[in-house]
Amino acid sequence: MTLLVVYYSTKSENTHRFVAKLDLPSIRLPIKSGDAVTLVERPYVIAFPSYGGGASEGSIPNPVKDFLNIPSNRDKLMGVIALGNTNFGEAFCLGGRLVSRKCNVPLVGKIEIMGTPEDIVEVKKAIQLLEEEILNV
């Protein structure tokens, strides 16, 4: 079983481009909060950029909160891929770190903007390790 990648990307498409390079099954969350919320049927990792300019309030996009507020979605969460900009210093990937901590799942990657080829390799490797752990291989 391959983990699904559920992701949120704004119109900038940075997160979308990163997820596309992973070449894994994926589902994109709606851009706007209040749009129909996606329900997942299998284990997944979530990828999203951090916002909020350094404050924990606002660092997680509302559509991600909407998605994770559904217990059946949250129960299938296996890991987090955090994306952000190192210009935000300590707040780099803050939203992803918060979700990882709150949901007690590993942070499988901290990616700047849309990542490097090395980031793709490392995240794919981390996802493969999660898959092996889930399947007890």
Mean pLDDT of 96-100: 96
Question: Which range of residues forms the domain containing residue 74?
Answer: 4-135
pLDDT for res 136: 73
Query: Domain holding 92: CATH number?
Result: 3.40.50.360
pLDDT for res 86: 87
Amino acid at position 29, single letter: L
**Is the model's pLDDT at 22 over the cut of 70?**
yes
pLDDT tens-digit readout, 50-75: 876 666 677 899 999 999 999 999 99
Q: Which of 11, 24, 13, 19 lies closest to 81 in space, CA to CA?
A: 19
> Does the global pTM surpass 0.75?
yes
Angle between helices 117-135 and 14-22 (to 10 degrees): 60
Alpha helices by DSSP H, the chain: 14-22, 62-68, 71-75, 94-103, 117-135
pLDDT for res 56: 63
pLDDT for res 90: 84
Q: Return the HEC string of 81-119.
A: EEEECHHHHHHCCHHHHHHHHHHCCCEEEEEECCCCHHH
Percentage of the chain modeled with pLDDT above 90: 72
Q: For the chain, how many structural domains are there in total?
A: 1
